[in-house]
């Protein structure tokens, strides 16, 4: 019994100390105000959240939401296309191809952005033949986002395709369906939950992204990540930063609840 | 037939697009254009290793990643053993907390660790870096170990209990050896995630404890140079080797 109690205490200490207490601190800080000399003044007010509702801040949130939504959409569509192609190959072949597609994603993210930036710079590999300046920075940022978030949606969606009931596919072909009909009428409607979880896995981290817009876009358009880092590290306005973080966490929890709800439905269907 | 072909071309273009930037990277590191033509040089690697600040940041990165992956694996093992023994309402709460930990983006975890250190009025340095990285990776190691623990056949555990094993004996003699491959795998994975991490280090490092991605980021802000190409090439090779090891390990233990 002593052993059980020890491991229980250790794990509860970890979660309380490093997840729950910081969360509470964050909530507490977000209702404070900052003084003239950067000190935190202890009086309860909603000023930070009111400031978040101003037009400029709402625009930042909208920027981020649009960027992550577009990233999610493209990633999911690309993943569907890739896994649909891989689905009809032999197993070993499809795994080798998947490995080829996923291989660059295992290396350090900063190196990846570095090589992308080198690629689009005037010294890049194809810059002699192709003028990169005609492509707007927003598109470059989007390309960076897609290329770094593709695995998050590709892996769940590919697993969904792999798990799919083979008999249904055969009966579709027996009844004279084409491959595209198979995709739109049979595969996609039944793989909805995999598409959804793949999308969420892209959407949530993309919302807090800071490095890609900063390095590839030259920080021309401001996203939540940039604002957060500025508030915490540059202006030292921690209460304001906490308010932003808390709003983000609120959005994440919303998605988490949706995800759990979907899982529950899935379990019920199985039962 | 036509759509089939289109899809093949699409995949081919995708793979080429994914790999082209890296070819540019290698080209920049190894090949230098001189008056007489293009030459294969290794000089940029020498320049890289002569720069003390890069070597220092490399050492920092290794130190932080090795230690934090070790802590994360031990903690992950303890938490998952706890969940293995405990199947009541606490377990559900732990599951939700772990899910939250897994889902939160890096930037929020970095803020968490920063807040802890600010409240305790501790200075930023190695300890803060290791703490931040551990918070980031512990949920990964935990989910890997937990899925391995759940796949252990019930009969083995029941047989051990019948033969009078205490919880400690069960853990040491049966659960630990059976989950060892998963623990090794998760150690390497944690090491890699921690080694790759940028945002947590960005928040938590002091000026003397810069990690390699941070150093790369700051140098990149100043401009692109063949020296950075050399560094990036080295790191690229390193990542590929580590992931090959993970795959080899998994295959060996599965077979």
Which of A63-67, A72-76, A179-183, A243-247 has the weakest average pLDDT? A179-183
pLDDT digits 0-9 by tens, A88-145: 888 888 888 888 888 877 788 888 888 888 888 877 777 777 777 778 888 888 888 8
Cβ-proximal residues to A75 (8 Å cutoff; 6+ apart), any chain:
A146, A149, A150, A152, A153, A154, A198, A199, A202
Which helix or strand (DSSP H or E) is residue A266 part of?
helix A238-270
How does strand A40-41 pair with strand B31-34? unpaired
CB-neighbour burial class of residue B254 (10 A; exposed 0-12, middle 13-18, buried 19+): exposed
Angle between helices B226-254 and B212-222 (to 10 degrees): 150
* Alpha helices in chain B, H assignment, sequence order: 2-30, 43-50, 52-85, 89-103, 106-119, 126-150, 154-162, 167-169, 176-196, 199-204, 212-222, 226-254
Q: Can you tell me the mean pLDDT for B161-187?
A: 88
Distance CA A107, CA A66 (A): 27
- Taking contacts as CB-CB distances below 8 angstroms, the residues of chain A near B99 are 256, 260
Of A29, A85, A111, the CB nearest to B7: A85
Which helix or strand (DSSP H or E) is residue B225 part of?
none
- Taking contacts as CB-CB distances below 8 angstroms, the residues of chain B near A18 are 112-113, 116, 131, 135
CB contact under 8 A, B235 and A207: no
Place of tokens 């949130």: A61
Residue pair A104/A112 in contact (Cβ under 8 Å)? The answer is yes
B124 backbone dihedrals φ, ψ, rounded to 5°: -75, 145
pLDDT digits 0-9 by tens, A58-96: 888 888 889 999 999 999 999 998 888 888 888 888 888
B39 backbone dihedrals φ, ψ, rounded to 5°: -130, 150
CB-neighbour burial class of residue A220 (10 A; exposed 0-12, middle 13-18, buried 19+): exposed
CB contact under 8 A, B18 and A82: no
Tell me which of A116 and B250 has the higher pLDDT: A116
Distance CA A206, CA A148 (A): 10
Distance CA B255, CA B234 (A): 32
Q: Can you tell me the mean pLDDT for B69-95?
A: 88
As a whole number of angstroms, the longest Cα–Cα distance in chain B is: 80
Residues 125-184 of A with CB under 8 A from B: 125-126, 147, 179-180
CA-based nearest distance B108→chain A, Å? 7
Beta-carbon count within 10 A of B245 CB:
13
Instruction: Output the pLDDT for position A266.
Output: 63
CA-based nearest distance A54→chain B, Å? 23
CA-based nearest distance A203→chain B, Å? 11
Distance CA B64, CA B131 (A): 9
pLDDT digits 0-9 by tens, B138-173: 988 988 898 888 888 889 889 988 998 888 888 888
Distance CA B115, CA A22 (A): 7
CA-based angle A59:A62:A64, to the nearest 5?
A: 115
Task: Indicate whether A32 pLDDT > 80.
Answer: yes
Task: Indicate whether A164 pLDDT > 80.
Answer: yes
Residue pair B104/A201 in contact (Cβ under 8 Å)? The answer is no
Cα nearest neighbour of B8 on chain A: A85
- For the entire predicted model, the pTM comes to 0.85
CA-based nearest distance A182→chain B, Å? 13
Q: Identify the band that residue B3 occupies on the pLDDT scale cut at 50, 70 and 90.
A: low
Distance CA B182, CA A231 (A): 40
Instruction: Output the pLDDT for position A268.
Output: 63
Task: Indicate whether A204 pLDDT > 70.
Answer: yes
% of chain A with per-residue pLDDT over 90: 6
Residue pair A214/A226 in contact (Cβ under 8 Å)? The answer is yes
Q: Which sign does the torsion angle of CA B117, B122, B123, B129 carry?
A: negative
Q: Does B105 lie at the interface with A, CB-CB under 8 angstroms?
A: yes
DSSP A86-137: HHTS-HHHHHHHHHHHHGGGGS-HHHHHHHHHHHHSTTSSSTTTS-GGGS-H
Place of tokens 């938490």: B79
Distance CA A161, CA A87 (A): 7
CB contact under 8 A, A26 and B135: no
Sort residue B17 into left (φ over 0), alpha (ψ -120 to 50) or beta: alpha
CA-based nearest distance B201→chain A, Å? 13
Q: In this prediction, does ipTM exceed 0.85?
A: no
Q: Can you tell me the mean pLDDT for B116-136?
A: 89
Alpha carbon of B128 to those of A145, B140, B166, B203: distances in Å? 29, 20, 37, 10
In sequence order, the β-bridge partners of residue A40 are: A34
Task: Indicate whether A19 pLDDT > 80.
Answer: yes
Place of tokens 């020296």: B227
CB contact under 8 A, A225 and B107: yes
Instruction: Output the pLDDT for position A193.
Output: 83
């Amino acid at each position: 019994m002593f052993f059980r109690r020890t491991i229980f205490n250790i794990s509860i200490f970890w979660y309380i100390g490093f997840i729950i207490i910081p969360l509470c601190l964050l909530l507490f800080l977000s209702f404070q105000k900052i003084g003239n000399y950067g000190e935190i003044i202890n009086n309860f007010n909603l000023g930070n959240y009111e400031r978040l509702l101003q037009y400029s801040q709402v625009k930042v949130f909208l920027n981020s939401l649009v960027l992550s939504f577009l990233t999610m959409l493209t990633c999911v569509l690309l993943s569907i296309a890739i896994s649909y192609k891989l689905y009809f190959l032999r197993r070993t072949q499809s795994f080798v191809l998947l490995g080829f597609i996923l291989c660059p994603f295992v290396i350090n993210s900063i190196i990846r952005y570095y090589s992308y930036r080198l690629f689009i710079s005037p010294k890049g590999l194809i810059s002699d033949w192709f003028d990169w300046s005609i492509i707007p920075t927003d598109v470059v940022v989007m390309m960076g986002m897609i290329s770094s978030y593709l695995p998050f949606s590709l892996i769940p969606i590919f697993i969904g395709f792999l798990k799919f009931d083979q008999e249904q596919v055969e009966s579709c072909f027996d009844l004279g369906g084409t491959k595209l009909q198979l995709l739109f009428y049979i595969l996609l409607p039944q793989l909805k939950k995999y598409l959804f979880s793949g999308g969420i896995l892209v959407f949530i981290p993309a919302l807090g992204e800071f490095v890609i817009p900063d390095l590839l876009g030259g920080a021309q358009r401001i996203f939540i990540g940039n604002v957060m880092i500025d508030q915490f590290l540059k202006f030292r306005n921690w209460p304001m930063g906490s308010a932003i973080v808390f709003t983000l966490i609120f959005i994440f929890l919303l998605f988490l609840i949706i995800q759990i709800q979907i899982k529950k439905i899935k379990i019920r269907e199985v039962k | 037939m036509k759509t089939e072909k289109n899809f093949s071309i699409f995949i081919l273009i995708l793979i080429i697009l994914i790999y082209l930037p890296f070819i540019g990277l290698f080209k920049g590191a190894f090949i230098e254009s001189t008056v007489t033509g293009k030459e294969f040089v290794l000089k940029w690697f020498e320049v890289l290793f002569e720069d003390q600040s890069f070597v220092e940041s490399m050492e920092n990165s290794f130190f932080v990643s090795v230690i934090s992956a070790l802590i994360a694996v031990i903690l992950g093992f303890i938490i998952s053993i706890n969940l293995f023994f405990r199947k009541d309402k606490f377990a559900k709460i732990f599951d939700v907390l772990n899910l939250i930990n897994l889902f939160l983006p890096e930037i929020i975890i970095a803020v968490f660790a920063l807040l802890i250190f600010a409240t305790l009025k501790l200075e930023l340095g190695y300890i803060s870096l290791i703490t931040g990285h551990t918070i980031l990776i512990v949920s990964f190691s935990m989910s890997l170990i937990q899925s391995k623990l759940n796949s252990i056949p019930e009969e083995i555990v029941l047989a051990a209990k019948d033969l009078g094993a205490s919880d400690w004996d069960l853990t040491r003699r049966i659960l630990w050896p059976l989950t060892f491959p998963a623990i090794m795998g998760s150690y390497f994975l944690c090491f890699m995630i921690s080694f790759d991490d940028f945002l947590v280090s960005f928040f938590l490092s002091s000026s003397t404890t810069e990690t390699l991605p941070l150093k790369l980021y700051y140098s990149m802000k100043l401009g692109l140079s063949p020296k950075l190409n050399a560094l990036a090439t080295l790191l690229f090779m390193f990542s590929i080797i580590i992931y090959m090891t993970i795959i080899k390990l998994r295959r060996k233990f599965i077979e």
